[in-house]
Structure 1
Protein backbone atom coordinates (compact mmCIF):
# COMPACT_ATOMS: atom_id res chain seq x y z
CA UNK A 1 0.00 0.00 0.00
CA UNK A 2 1.32 3.43 -0.90
CA UNK A 3 1.73 5.54 2.27
CA UNK A 4 -0.71 8.39 2.67
CA UNK A 5 0.04 11.31 4.94
CA UNK A 6 -3.04 13.38 5.77
CA UNK A 7 -2.36 16.93 6.81
CA UNK A 8 -0.84 17.26 10.24
CA UNK A 9 -2.13 19.46 13.02
CA UNK A 10 -3.45 22.79 11.67
CA UNK A 11 -1.09 25.28 13.28
CA UNK A 12 -3.11 28.21 11.99
CA UNK A 13 -6.07 27.21 14.16
CA UNK A 14 -5.27 28.51 17.62
CA UNK A 15 -6.81 26.69 20.58
CA UNK A 16 -8.12 29.14 23.22
CA UNK A 17 -5.99 29.32 26.40
CA UNK A 18 -7.19 26.87 29.02
CA UNK A 19 -9.27 24.91 26.52
CA UNK A 20 -9.73 21.17 26.94
CA UNK A 21 -10.76 18.46 24.52
CA UNK A 22 -14.54 18.47 23.93
CA UNK A 23 -14.65 14.66 23.68
CA UNK A 24 -13.43 11.73 25.81
CA UNK A 25 -10.18 9.88 25.13
CA UNK A 26 -10.93 6.14 25.14
CA UNK A 27 -7.37 4.89 24.57
CA UNK A 28 -4.00 6.59 24.91
CA UNK A 29 -0.41 5.56 24.22
CA UNK A 30 2.73 7.38 23.04
CA UNK A 31 1.85 6.21 19.51
CA UNK A 32 -1.89 6.73 19.20
CA UNK A 33 -5.17 7.91 20.66
CA UNK A 34 -8.72 6.73 20.22
CA UNK A 35 -11.31 9.41 20.90
CA UNK A 36 -15.09 9.24 21.26
CA UNK A 37 -16.11 11.53 18.41
CA UNK A 38 -19.46 13.24 18.94
CA UNK A 39 -22.13 12.96 16.28
CA UNK A 40 -22.26 16.08 14.13
CA UNK A 41 -18.54 16.91 14.43
CA UNK A 42 -16.59 16.51 11.15
CA UNK A 43 -13.17 14.90 11.36
CA UNK A 44 -11.60 17.63 9.22
CA UNK A 45 -12.63 21.12 8.07
CA UNK A 46 -15.15 21.28 5.26
CA UNK A 47 -15.82 23.96 2.64
CA UNK A 48 -18.40 25.60 4.87
CA UNK A 49 -16.00 25.96 7.80
CA UNK A 50 -17.00 25.21 11.37
CA UNK A 51 -15.26 23.14 14.07
CA UNK A 52 -13.69 19.75 13.37
CA UNK A 53 -11.65 17.11 15.19
CA UNK A 54 -8.47 18.47 13.58
CA UNK A 55 -8.98 21.80 15.34
CA UNK A 56 -8.03 20.04 18.58
CA UNK A 57 -4.86 18.37 17.32
CA UNK A 58 -2.60 20.91 19.12
CA UNK A 59 -3.96 19.62 22.46
CA UNK A 60 -3.19 16.01 21.53
CA UNK A 61 0.48 16.44 20.66
CA UNK A 62 3.15 19.15 20.67
CA UNK A 63 5.16 17.48 17.94
CA UNK A 64 5.58 19.34 14.66
CA UNK A 65 4.88 16.28 12.51
CA UNK A 66 1.49 15.16 13.75
CA UNK A 67 -1.08 14.08 14.75
CA UNK A 68 -2.90 12.45 11.84
CA UNK A 69 -6.28 10.84 11.35
CA UNK A 70 -5.68 7.11 10.85
CA UNK A 71 -9.12 6.64 9.27
CA UNK A 72 -12.44 8.48 8.97
CA UNK A 73 -15.90 8.57 10.47
CA UNK A 74 -18.84 10.29 8.81
CA UNK A 75 -19.82 13.59 10.38
CA UNK A 76 -23.11 12.13 11.65
CA UNK A 77 -21.50 8.99 13.09
CA UNK A 78 -20.29 9.03 16.70
CA UNK A 79 -17.80 6.78 18.47
CA UNK A 80 -14.30 5.36 18.20
CA UNK A 81 -11.90 7.35 16.01
CA UNK A 82 -8.18 6.48 15.88
CA UNK A 83 -5.54 9.21 15.69
CA UNK A 84 -1.84 8.52 15.11
CA UNK A 85 0.70 10.54 17.10
CA UNK A 86 3.78 9.28 15.25
CA UNK A 87 4.43 8.88 11.52
CA UNK A 88 5.42 5.21 11.81
CA UNK A 89 2.29 4.53 13.84
CA UNK A 90 0.23 6.15 11.09
CA UNK A 91 1.72 3.88 8.42
CA UNK A 92 1.17 0.78 10.56
CA UNK A 93 -2.41 1.74 11.38
CA UNK A 94 -3.23 2.54 7.74
CA UNK A 95 -1.86 -0.85 6.70
CA UNK A 96 -4.01 -2.50 9.35
CA UNK A 97 -7.15 -0.79 8.03
CA UNK A 98 -6.30 -1.42 4.36
CA UNK A 99 -5.57 -5.12 4.89
CA UNK A 100 -8.77 -5.78 6.81
CA UNK A 101 -6.99 -6.58 10.07
CA UNK A 102 -8.75 -3.79 11.95
CA UNK A 103 -11.81 -5.01 13.84
CA UNK A 104 -14.55 -2.38 13.52
CA UNK A 105 -17.78 -2.94 15.43
CA UNK A 106 -20.74 -0.58 15.11
CA UNK A 107 -24.12 -0.44 16.81
CA UNK A 108 -27.16 0.72 14.89
CA UNK A 109 -30.89 0.97 15.46
CA UNK A 110 -32.80 0.15 12.30
CA UNK A 111 -36.37 0.14 11.12
CA UNK A 112 -37.99 -3.30 11.04
CA UNK A 113 -36.71 -6.69 12.16
CA UNK A 114 -33.95 -8.37 10.10
CA UNK A 115 -32.83 -11.98 10.48
CA UNK A 116 -30.98 -12.82 13.71
CA UNK A 117 -27.65 -12.72 11.90
CA UNK A 118 -26.18 -12.69 8.44
CA UNK A 119 -23.79 -11.06 6.03
CA UNK A 120 -24.21 -8.75 3.07
CA UNK A 121 -21.44 -8.71 0.47
CA UNK A 122 -22.38 -6.05 -2.08
CA UNK A 123 -20.00 -3.64 -3.87
CA UNK A 124 -20.57 0.10 -3.52
CA UNK A 125 -19.94 3.00 -5.86
CA UNK A 126 -20.40 6.76 -5.61
CA UNK A 127 -23.01 8.48 -7.78
CA UNK A 128 -23.90 12.15 -8.02
CA UNK A 129 -26.30 14.52 -9.71
CA UNK A 130 -26.67 18.33 -9.71
CA UNK A 131 -30.11 18.07 -8.11
CA UNK A 132 -29.53 15.44 -5.41
CA UNK A 133 -25.80 15.73 -4.74
CA UNK A 134 -23.80 12.56 -4.14
CA UNK A 135 -24.48 9.27 -2.41
CA UNK A 136 -23.37 5.64 -2.48
CA UNK A 137 -25.23 2.82 -4.19
CA UNK A 138 -24.95 -0.92 -4.70
CA UNK A 139 -23.37 -1.71 -8.05
CA UNK A 140 -21.49 -4.74 -9.43
CA UNK A 141 -18.65 -2.53 -10.69
CA UNK A 142 -18.22 -0.77 -7.34
CA UNK A 143 -15.61 -1.38 -4.65
CA UNK A 144 -15.93 -4.56 -2.60
CA UNK A 145 -17.94 -4.03 0.60
CA UNK A 146 -18.81 -6.66 3.21
CA UNK A 147 -20.79 -6.27 6.43
CA UNK A 148 -21.87 -8.88 9.00
CA UNK A 149 -24.68 -8.27 11.46
CA UNK A 150 -26.21 -9.72 14.62
CA UNK A 151 -29.55 -8.69 16.04
CA UNK A 152 -29.04 -7.87 19.72
CA UNK A 153 -32.60 -6.80 20.50
CA UNK A 154 -35.92 -5.68 19.07
CA UNK A 155 -39.36 -4.46 20.10
CA UNK A 156 -40.92 -5.85 16.96
CA UNK A 157 -40.79 -2.52 15.13
CA UNK A 158 -37.18 -1.39 15.41
CA UNK A 159 -34.04 -3.45 16.04
CA UNK A 160 -30.66 -3.03 17.70
CA UNK A 161 -27.89 -4.42 15.51
CA UNK A 162 -24.21 -5.13 15.98
CA UNK A 163 -22.45 -4.52 12.66
CA UNK A 164 -18.97 -5.78 11.81
CA UNK A 165 -17.48 -3.88 8.88
CA UNK A 166 -14.93 -6.05 7.08
CA UNK A 167 -14.21 -3.26 4.59
CA UNK A 168 -14.22 0.51 4.99
CA UNK A 169 -16.33 2.06 2.25
CA UNK A 170 -18.04 5.42 2.58
CA UNK A 171 -21.55 5.03 4.05
CA UNK A 172 -21.08 1.24 4.02
CA UNK A 173 -23.17 0.45 7.10
CA UNK A 174 -25.91 2.83 6.01
CA UNK A 175 -26.25 1.50 2.46
CA UNK A 176 -26.04 -2.15 3.50
CA UNK A 177 -28.69 -1.75 6.22
CA UNK A 178 -30.97 -0.04 3.72
CA UNK A 179 -30.34 -2.85 1.22
CA UNK A 180 -31.59 -5.34 3.80
CA UNK A 181 -34.86 -3.42 3.93
CA UNK A 182 -34.02 -2.12 7.41
CA UNK A 183 -32.60 1.41 7.03
CA UNK A 184 -30.94 3.07 10.00
CA UNK A 185 -33.16 5.38 12.03
CA UNK A 186 -32.53 9.04 11.31
CA UNK A 187 -30.78 8.43 7.98
CA UNK A 188 -31.94 11.23 5.66
CA UNK A 189 -30.22 9.79 2.58
CA UNK A 190 -30.84 6.04 2.65
CA UNK A 191 -33.80 5.83 5.02
CA UNK A 192 -37.20 7.36 5.63
CA UNK A 193 -38.19 10.26 7.84
CA UNK A 194 -39.20 8.98 11.27
CA UNK A 195 -41.23 11.18 13.64
CA UNK A 196 -39.18 12.52 16.58
CA UNK A 197 -35.93 11.09 15.16
CA UNK A 198 -33.57 13.70 13.75
CA UNK A 199 -30.10 12.15 14.22
CA UNK A 200 -28.44 9.11 12.69
CA UNK A 201 -28.71 6.07 15.00
CA UNK A 202 -25.28 4.63 14.22
CA UNK A 203 -22.03 4.75 16.17
CA UNK A 204 -18.62 3.10 16.21
CA UNK A 205 -18.93 0.91 19.29
CA UNK A 206 -15.51 -0.75 19.36
CA UNK A 207 -12.22 -0.52 17.50
CA UNK A 208 -9.38 -3.03 17.73
CA UNK A 209 -6.06 -2.80 15.89
CA UNK A 210 -3.76 -5.83 16.33
CA UNK A 211 -0.49 -3.90 16.32
CA UNK A 212 2.70 -4.75 18.22
CA UNK A 213 1.16 -2.82 21.09
CA UNK A 214 -2.54 -3.56 20.48
CA UNK A 215 -5.08 -0.75 20.36
CA UNK A 216 -8.55 -1.44 21.74
CA UNK A 217 -11.30 0.99 22.71
CA UNK A 218 -15.03 0.84 23.43
CA UNK A 219 -17.43 3.80 23.26
CA UNK A 220 -20.72 4.18 25.10
CA UNK A 221 -23.88 4.86 23.08
CA UNK A 222 -24.48 8.55 22.36
CA UNK A 223 -27.36 10.14 24.22
CA UNK A 224 -29.55 10.50 21.14
CA UNK A 225 -29.62 6.70 20.66
CA UNK A 226 -30.54 5.68 24.20
CA UNK A 227 -34.32 5.90 23.87
CA UNK A 228 -34.40 3.64 20.80
CA UNK A 229 -31.81 1.24 22.25
CA UNK A 230 -33.81 0.93 25.46
CA UNK A 231 -36.91 0.03 23.45
CA UNK A 232 -34.87 -2.83 22.00
CA UNK A 233 -33.71 -4.14 25.38
CA UNK A 234 -30.51 -2.21 26.03
CA UNK A 235 -29.80 -1.23 29.64
CA UNK A 236 -27.24 1.51 30.18
CA UNK A 237 -26.24 0.19 33.61
CA UNK A 238 -25.57 -3.30 32.23
CA UNK A 239 -23.32 -3.37 29.19
CA UNK A 240 -22.08 -6.92 28.45
CA UNK A 241 -18.75 -7.38 26.72
CA UNK A 242 -19.19 -7.12 22.96
CA UNK A 243 -19.07 -10.49 21.27
CA UNK A 244 -20.75 -12.19 24.25
CA UNK A 245 -24.17 -10.60 23.84
CA UNK A 246 -27.02 -13.04 23.30
CA UNK A 247 -28.72 -12.92 19.93
CA UNK A 248 -32.32 -11.87 20.37
CA UNK A 249 -35.19 -14.16 19.59
Structure 2
Protein backbone atom coordinates (compact mmCIF):
# COMPACT_ATOMS: atom_id res chain seq x y z
CA UNK A 1 0.00 0.00 0.00
CA UNK A 2 2.79 2.41 0.92
CA UNK A 3 4.34 2.21 -2.57
CA UNK A 4 1.05 2.39 -4.44
CA UNK A 5 1.00 -1.22 -5.63
CA UNK A 6 -2.45 -2.14 -4.23
CA UNK A 7 -5.74 -1.40 -6.00
CA UNK A 8 -9.25 -1.93 -4.63
CA UNK A 9 -12.03 -2.11 -7.22
CA UNK A 10 -9.67 -0.61 -9.79
CA UNK A 11 -8.65 2.38 -7.63
CA UNK A 12 -5.28 2.81 -5.94
CA UNK A 13 -5.53 2.10 -2.21
CA UNK A 14 -4.03 4.76 0.05
CA UNK A 15 -5.16 3.46 3.45
CA UNK A 16 -4.03 0.02 4.56
CA UNK A 17 -6.70 -0.05 7.25
CA UNK A 18 -9.64 0.46 4.90
CA UNK A 19 -12.43 -2.11 5.26
CA UNK A 20 -13.25 -4.12 2.15
CA UNK A 21 -16.76 -4.59 0.88
CA UNK A 22 -18.16 -7.95 -0.13
CA UNK A 23 -17.06 -9.06 -3.63
CA UNK A 24 -14.59 -6.18 -4.04
CA UNK A 25 -11.60 -7.11 -6.21
CA UNK A 26 -8.14 -6.41 -4.76
CA UNK A 27 -5.22 -6.24 -7.19
CA UNK A 28 -1.54 -6.11 -6.23
CA UNK A 29 0.80 -5.03 -9.04
CA UNK A 30 4.10 -6.61 -8.00
CA UNK A 31 5.82 -6.33 -11.32
CA UNK A 32 6.27 -3.69 -13.95
CA UNK A 33 8.27 -4.82 -16.97
CA UNK A 34 9.60 -7.78 -15.01
CA UNK A 35 10.83 -5.85 -11.98
CA UNK A 36 9.22 -5.51 -8.58
CA UNK A 37 8.23 -1.94 -7.64
CA UNK A 38 9.94 -2.61 -4.31
CA UNK A 39 13.23 -3.48 -5.99
CA UNK A 40 16.00 -0.94 -6.23
CA UNK A 41 17.01 0.17 -9.70
CA UNK A 42 20.47 -1.14 -10.51
CA UNK A 43 23.46 1.13 -11.12
CA UNK A 44 22.93 3.12 -14.28
CA UNK A 45 25.37 3.28 -17.16
CA UNK A 46 27.43 6.46 -17.61
CA UNK A 47 25.36 9.32 -18.99
CA UNK A 48 25.60 9.56 -22.77
CA UNK A 49 25.29 13.19 -23.86
CA UNK A 50 24.19 13.57 -27.48
CA UNK A 51 24.12 17.37 -27.61
CA UNK A 52 24.71 20.20 -25.18
CA UNK A 53 24.91 23.97 -25.45
CA UNK A 54 24.26 26.89 -23.12
CA UNK A 55 20.48 26.30 -23.10
CA UNK A 56 19.66 22.63 -23.64
CA UNK A 57 21.08 19.17 -23.21
CA UNK A 58 19.97 16.03 -25.07
CA UNK A 59 20.87 12.64 -23.63
CA UNK A 60 20.37 9.00 -24.52
CA UNK A 61 17.99 7.50 -21.96
CA UNK A 62 18.69 3.78 -21.46
CA UNK A 63 15.88 1.26 -21.10
CA UNK A 64 15.12 0.34 -17.49
CA UNK A 65 15.67 3.83 -16.06
CA UNK A 66 12.78 5.99 -14.88
CA UNK A 67 12.59 9.40 -16.54
CA UNK A 68 11.82 11.02 -13.19
CA UNK A 69 11.45 9.95 -9.55
CA UNK A 70 8.26 7.99 -8.96
CA UNK A 71 6.41 6.46 -6.05
CA UNK A 72 7.58 2.98 -5.16
CA UNK A 73 10.94 3.21 -6.93
CA UNK A 74 14.28 3.66 -5.26
CA UNK A 75 17.50 4.67 -6.95
CA UNK A 76 18.39 7.42 -9.37
CA UNK A 77 16.13 8.56 -12.20
CA UNK A 78 17.24 10.23 -15.43
CA UNK A 79 16.38 13.62 -13.90
CA UNK A 80 18.74 12.86 -11.02
CA UNK A 81 21.54 11.70 -13.33
CA UNK A 82 21.28 14.73 -15.63
CA UNK A 83 20.97 17.08 -12.66
CA UNK A 84 24.18 15.66 -11.21
CA UNK A 85 25.91 16.16 -14.58
CA UNK A 86 24.76 19.79 -14.73
CA UNK A 87 25.39 20.50 -11.08
CA UNK A 88 21.88 21.90 -10.76
CA UNK A 89 18.27 21.41 -11.77
CA UNK A 90 17.48 19.62 -15.03
CA UNK A 91 14.29 20.89 -16.70
CA UNK A 92 12.45 17.80 -17.93
CA UNK A 93 9.91 18.65 -20.66
CA UNK A 94 8.96 15.21 -22.00
CA UNK A 95 9.17 11.65 -20.75
CA UNK A 96 9.87 8.21 -22.12
CA UNK A 97 8.42 5.14 -20.43
CA UNK A 98 10.78 3.27 -18.14
CA UNK A 99 11.18 0.42 -20.63
CA UNK A 100 11.86 2.79 -23.56
CA UNK A 101 15.28 4.02 -24.65
CA UNK A 102 15.90 7.13 -26.71
CA UNK A 103 16.65 10.84 -26.86
CA UNK A 104 15.43 12.96 -23.95
CA UNK A 105 15.82 16.75 -23.93
CA UNK A 106 16.24 18.96 -20.86
CA UNK A 107 16.31 22.71 -20.41
CA UNK A 108 19.29 24.15 -18.53
CA UNK A 109 17.44 27.27 -17.40
CA UNK A 110 13.86 28.24 -16.60
CA UNK A 111 13.48 30.14 -19.88
CA UNK A 112 14.93 27.30 -21.97
CA UNK A 113 12.71 24.75 -20.22
CA UNK A 114 9.63 26.91 -20.86
CA UNK A 115 10.51 27.29 -24.55
CA UNK A 116 11.04 23.55 -24.96
CA UNK A 117 7.81 22.76 -23.14
CA UNK A 118 5.91 25.09 -25.47
CA UNK A 119 7.46 23.42 -28.52
CA UNK A 120 6.25 20.01 -27.34
CA UNK A 121 2.86 21.38 -26.34
CA UNK A 122 2.29 23.11 -29.68
CA UNK A 123 3.56 20.15 -31.71
CA UNK A 124 6.51 21.95 -33.30
CA UNK A 125 8.86 19.42 -31.70
CA UNK A 126 8.48 16.20 -33.67
CA UNK A 127 8.90 12.80 -32.03
CA UNK A 128 9.85 9.59 -33.83
CA UNK A 129 9.91 6.12 -32.33
CA UNK A 130 10.91 2.68 -33.57
CA UNK A 131 9.30 -0.44 -32.12
CA UNK A 132 9.27 -4.17 -32.74
CA UNK A 133 5.77 -5.65 -32.63
CA UNK A 134 4.06 -8.93 -33.26
CA UNK A 135 3.35 -9.97 -36.86
CA UNK A 136 0.39 -8.78 -38.91
CA UNK A 137 0.80 -5.01 -38.70
CA UNK A 138 -0.69 -3.13 -41.70
CA UNK A 139 1.65 -1.25 -44.04
CA UNK A 140 0.83 2.09 -42.47
CA UNK A 141 -1.87 4.50 -41.43
CA UNK A 142 -3.16 6.56 -38.53
CA UNK A 143 -4.64 5.34 -35.25
CA UNK A 144 -7.02 7.93 -33.82
CA UNK A 145 -8.59 5.97 -30.96
CA UNK A 146 -9.15 7.94 -27.72
CA UNK A 147 -7.35 6.72 -24.59
CA UNK A 148 -8.84 6.04 -21.17
CA UNK A 149 -7.73 4.17 -18.05
CA UNK A 150 -8.61 0.50 -18.14
CA UNK A 151 -10.76 -0.11 -15.03
CA UNK A 152 -10.13 -3.85 -15.17
CA UNK A 153 -6.34 -3.56 -15.38
CA UNK A 154 -4.77 -0.99 -13.04
CA UNK A 155 -1.84 0.87 -14.55
CA UNK A 156 -2.95 0.19 -18.11
CA UNK A 157 -4.67 2.40 -20.69
CA UNK A 158 -7.11 1.26 -23.36
CA UNK A 159 -7.65 2.65 -26.86
CA UNK A 160 -11.36 2.59 -27.66
CA UNK A 161 -14.25 4.78 -28.74
CA UNK A 162 -16.51 3.02 -26.24
CA UNK A 163 -15.28 5.13 -23.30
CA UNK A 164 -15.01 8.85 -22.63
CA UNK A 165 -11.28 9.03 -23.39
CA UNK A 166 -8.84 11.77 -24.33
CA UNK A 167 -8.09 12.34 -28.04
CA UNK A 168 -4.93 10.66 -29.33
CA UNK A 169 -3.41 10.30 -32.80
CA UNK A 170 -0.50 8.14 -33.94
CA UNK A 171 0.80 7.92 -37.51
CA UNK A 172 2.74 4.75 -38.28
CA UNK A 173 4.67 3.13 -41.12
CA UNK A 174 5.76 -0.49 -41.17
CA UNK A 175 9.42 -0.70 -42.14
CA UNK A 176 9.67 -4.48 -42.04
CA UNK A 177 7.01 -7.19 -41.87
CA UNK A 178 8.05 -10.77 -41.20
CA UNK A 179 6.45 -13.96 -40.01
CA UNK A 180 7.72 -13.48 -36.45
CA UNK A 181 7.71 -9.71 -35.95
CA UNK A 182 7.34 -6.27 -37.53
CA UNK A 183 9.48 -3.15 -37.26
CA UNK A 184 7.41 0.02 -37.23
CA UNK A 185 8.10 3.76 -37.29
CA UNK A 186 5.75 5.70 -35.01
CA UNK A 187 5.05 9.44 -35.27
CA UNK A 188 2.69 10.48 -32.46
CA UNK A 189 0.78 13.72 -32.98
CA UNK A 190 -0.24 13.78 -29.31
CA UNK A 191 1.72 12.77 -26.23
CA UNK A 192 -0.65 10.76 -24.05
CA UNK A 193 0.40 8.31 -21.35
CA UNK A 194 1.11 4.88 -22.89
CA UNK A 195 -0.24 6.16 -26.21
CA UNK A 196 1.95 4.08 -28.51
CA UNK A 197 1.64 0.97 -26.38
CA UNK A 198 -2.16 1.19 -26.27
CA UNK A 199 -2.55 2.07 -29.96
CA UNK A 200 -0.38 -0.81 -31.13
CA UNK A 201 -2.26 -3.17 -28.83
CA UNK A 202 -5.53 -1.95 -30.36
CA UNK A 203 -4.14 -2.94 -33.77
CA UNK A 204 -3.55 -6.44 -32.45
CA UNK A 205 0.24 -6.07 -32.53
CA UNK A 206 1.54 -5.09 -29.08
CA UNK A 207 5.18 -4.12 -28.63
CA UNK A 208 7.33 -7.21 -28.16
CA UNK A 209 8.41 -7.63 -24.56
CA UNK A 210 5.70 -5.31 -23.23
CA UNK A 211 4.16 -7.72 -20.73
CA UNK A 212 1.67 -5.17 -19.43
CA UNK A 213 0.05 -4.86 -22.86
CA UNK A 214 0.29 -8.48 -23.91
CA UNK A 215 3.56 -8.32 -25.84
Q: Could you say which TM-score interval applies, normalised by the shorter chain? A: 0.7 to 0.9
Structure 2 residue 99 is matched with structure 1 residue 57: no
2:37 paired residue number: none
Alignment counterpart, residue 149 of structure 1, candidates 172, 175, 180: 172
Task: Work out which structure has the larger RCO, using CA pairs closer than 8 Å and 6 or more positions apart in sequence.
Answer: 1
- How many pairs are equivalent? 169
Instruction: Give how far 1:150 is off.
Output: 0.8
SS of the residue aligned with 1:73?
coil
Distance in 2 separating the partners of 1:101 and 1:76: 25
Structure 2 residue 192 is matched with structure 1 residue 169: yes
Distance in 1 separating the partners of 2:76 and 2:205: 32
Instruction: Give how far 1:157 is off.
Output: 2.4
* TM score, norm. by length of structure 2: 0.73
Distance in 2 separating the partners of 1:87 and 1:57: 15
Q: Which runs of 4+ in 1 moved over 6 A?
A: none
1:230 paired residue number: none
SS of the residue aligned with 1:151?
strand
Structure 2 gap segments, 5+ residues each: 1-43
Alignment counterpart, residue 135 of structure 1, candidates 156, 161, 176: 156
C-alpha spacing 1:126/1:39, structure 2 compared with 1 (3 Å): same
1:108 paired residue number: 131
SS of the residue aligned with 1:152?
strand
C-alpha spacing 1:158/1:68, structure 2 compared with 1 (3 Å): same
2:47 paired residue number: 23
Distance in 1 separating the partners of 2:118 and 2:210: 30
> Is 51-60 or 160-169 further displaced after alignment?
51-60
RMSD: 1.8
